[in-house]
Amino acid sequence: MQSQIKIAPSVLSADFTKLGADLADVACADLIHYDVMDGHFVPNVSFGLDILKATKRATDLPVDVHLMISNPDEMLPAFIDAGADLITFHMEATAHANRLIQLIHAAGRKASVAICPATPVCMLEDVIEDVDMVLIMTVNPGFGGQSFLESSAAKLRRVKKLCAEHGVNPMIEVDGGINDETAAIVAGAGANVLVAGSAVFGKADRGAAIESIRTSAQNALLKKA
């Protein structure tokens, strides 16, 4: 049976001197999460197109590109060309979300929109029927290793309600502070794609860390059923 919960290790917490080996360590995951930061939309700079191409060469898993950049309208085509399988841009960063979703779909990729902790769920109202996934930030974007924001659980329940009202079922991704404990909270509240950076790459056995997060999330679902 295919797992209902998908785990997406975040490359941001990998050791960049041995990216290929670190990606091989997380081959049992479902997606690879790739954080692009521009030093403008968020107060940090990460990596861009060339490292994405290298990541694509080093893994068979789909790559989930999270654009934390101020100008997604200009940069999106380049990330499509570099091989992003699923692309998330922030609702706070564009006036043209609908156009960007169309552009991603026209390229045959999956489209997703993200909202920061202070952005209300109603921002998703007019895109929820068009996207493959929504990303609910569970920390303020910009850095790995931050603590999960407790307010996220109630927010996820509001997202689930919005999806039900529209009769759609996009993937619901969470990003930031996810570990064994918080995985249970977010899965119980409706998330089914869990990004984890430090809780995976910070462990000696990355495969075991992924399975442990997955099990914790799945157990929370069983408890709810």
From 6, 29, 31, 33, residue interacting with ligand DX5 (rule: CB under 6 A): 33
Q: Residue written as tokens 């996220």? A: 152
Catalytic pick among 25, 30, 35, 38: 35
From 29, 127, 178, 186, residue interacting with ligand DX5 (rule: CB under 6 A): 178
Query: Is residue 205 among the annotated active site residues?
Result: no
Window of 92-100, 118-126, 175-183, 207-215 that interacts with ligand DX5 by CB under 6 A = 175-183
Write the CB contacts of 161 (distance below 8 Å, at least 6 apart in sequence). none
Count the alpha carbons within 13 Å of 177 in the hemisphere toward its beta carbon: 19
Chain positions 110 to 169 lying near ligand DX5, rule: CB under 6 A, are 139, 141-146
Six-digit token pair at 144? Answer: 């790995």
Residue number of the CB closest to ligand DX5 reads: 197
Query: Is residue 130 among the annotated active site residues?
Result: no
Window of 58-66, 89-97, 150-158, 164-172 that interacts with Zn ion by CB under 5 A = 58-66
From 101, 175, 186, 201, residue interacting with Zn ion (rule: CB under 5 A): 175
Q: Which is nearer to ligand DX5, 66 or 109 (CB)?
A: 66
Contact indicator for 133, 155 with CB cutoff of 8 Å: no
* Coil/strand/helix, residue 147: coil
Say which entry of Zn ion, ligand DX5, none residue 115 contacts (CB below 5 to 8 A, set by partner kind). Answer: none
From 22, 25, 30, 35, residue interacting with Zn ion (rule: CB under 5 A): 35
Q: How far is the CB of 12 from ligand DX5 (least distance, A)?
A: 4
Catalytic pick among 22, 30, 38, 175: 175
Contact indicator for 200, 161 with CB cutoff of 8 Å: no
Q: How far is the CB of 61 from ligand DX5 (least distance, A)?
A: 15
Give the integer Cα–Cα distance in Å for 88 and 133: 8
Contacts 24+ apart (CB under 8 A), 115-119: 115/90, 115/91, 116/90, 116/92, 116/140, 116/141, 117/149, 117/151, 117/152, 117/155, 119/91, 119/92
Q: Which is nearer to Zn ion, 88 or 216 (CB)?
A: 88
Q: How far is the CB of 186 from Zn ion (least distance, A)?
A: 14
Q: What angle do CA 159, 47, 107 make, to 5 degrees?
A: 60
Six-digit token pair at 116? Answer: 């920061």
Cite the active site residues.
35, 175
Residues in contact with ligand DX5 by CB under 6 A are 10, 12-13, 33, 35, 66, 139, 141-146, 175-178, 195-199
